[in-house]
């Protein structure tokens, strides 16, 4: 069965988040190569974790587009993690509300779209 509009939008949000993190990954690699890091092992670990996040978000995007349930549930967890990062960006000694909003808006949009996609998929499961 073809994916619905809400699933396509949810998949597009996840794909955009994966692309954004891919850009951040490139930035991290350039900083490491350019010697703009204080601790090389920590930088390498952050690069690996960012690469894993890119791969996960991309896989969730494809799965949501294909109407696979694990993609929706994984995407929801990813959106909640993004919202937690946004909260962290808004608080603390170096908190910046503007940055927090830039992080939170796509996270909230993705969360709402993924919940809508889950609701849309529910009647399909009942028909089996």
| Interval 99-109: pLDDT, tens | 999 999 999 99
Tell me which DSSP letter residue 117 carries.
H
Distance CA 105, CA 120 (A): 22
| Interval 65-100: pLDDT, tens | 999 999 999 999 999 999 999 999 999 889 999 999
Query: Going by C-beta distance under 8 Å and a sequence separation of 6 or more, which residues neighbour residue 14?
Result: 57, 58, 60, 61, 64, 75, 78, 110
Distance CA 43, CA 9 (A): 33
Distance CA 104, CA 110 (A): 10
pLDDT at residue 126 tops 70: no
């Amino acid at each position: 069965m073809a994916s619905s509009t809400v699933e396509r939008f949810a998949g597009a949000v996840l794909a955009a988040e994966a692309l954004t993190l891919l850009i951040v990954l490139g930035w991290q690699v350039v900083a490491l190569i350019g010697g703009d890091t204080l601790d090389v092992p920590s930088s390498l670990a952050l690069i690996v974790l960012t690469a894993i996040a890119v791969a996960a978000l991309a896989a969730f995007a494809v799965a949501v587009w294909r109407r696979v349930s694990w993609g929706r549930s994984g995407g929801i967890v990813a959106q909640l993690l993004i919202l937690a990062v946004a909260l962290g960006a808004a608080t603390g000694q170096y908190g910046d509300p503007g940055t927090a909003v830039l992080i939170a808006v796509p996270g909230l949009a993705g969360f709402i779209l993924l919940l809508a996609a889950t609701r849309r998929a529910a009647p399909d499961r009942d028909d089996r």
